[in-house]
Structure 1
Amino acid sequence: MVARGLAGVEFVEEVGGDLKFKRKKFLVLMDSIGCGEVKVLILAHRDRLTRFGFDRFKHYALSNGCEILVLNQERLSPEQEMVQDLMTITHCFSARLDGLKNYRKRLDEALKENEPSCT
């Protein structure tokens, strides 16, 4: 980092679905870029920040004076990218279905607990 003249480097990590927009640290990053507070954004991998729409994000960053530096430039074939995207979407919706099942189960339990008894 020092070789490029980068000082005041801040590392930001966020565990979360890259399909979700409402990620706290991601939104703070977007706001900081929009205010011109971030001059260089260094990413380990291109698809870790956004699964879809990276080019749109890059345009936003560049138009706000933020350079994007991607360390791992590995490129997949279009077929490999499509398979990874499909697997990501499938995983995301599968997790949502599991969440709905748990929600319904808790709701049913709560309703049974609050049922008036006929004694």
Structure 2
Amino acid sequence: MDELMYSVDLVDEIGNLITNARKNVVKKVNNELLETYWNIGRVIVEDELKNERGEYGKKQLISLSKTLTKRFGKGFSRANLYNMKMFYTKYPIIQSVTGQLSWTHYLKDYYYQMVKQIKKLYFN
């Protein structure tokens, strides 16, 4: 049998480095996605204001969704684009969000608020 040529402490230390690196990668990817989605929302809102469209319009988001999906793949449904717009509207300062919130957290909060509003409208 081969005798261990390294200590268990060495493996644990290297394992900790790998684990921490993986966590950092996830955080960085999450922050990059948040900033991207926030900026997409910002661009949509600014275009809406620039063109004096009080309502961006479902047709506009549907058309934009189709174009972006053809070009970049999944993730750009009308509902997602609308959520990105609302994300920007709710958090107009991106620094208040990055590092503290993930896109999943935002969506869970968004849907939770929607359910509360529906309950209030129909069950109170």
Select the structure that is richer in helix.
2
TM over 0.5, yes or no?
no
- TM interval, short-chain normalised: 0.3 to 0.5
TM-score, normalised relative to structure 1:
0.34
Select the structure that is richer in strand.
1
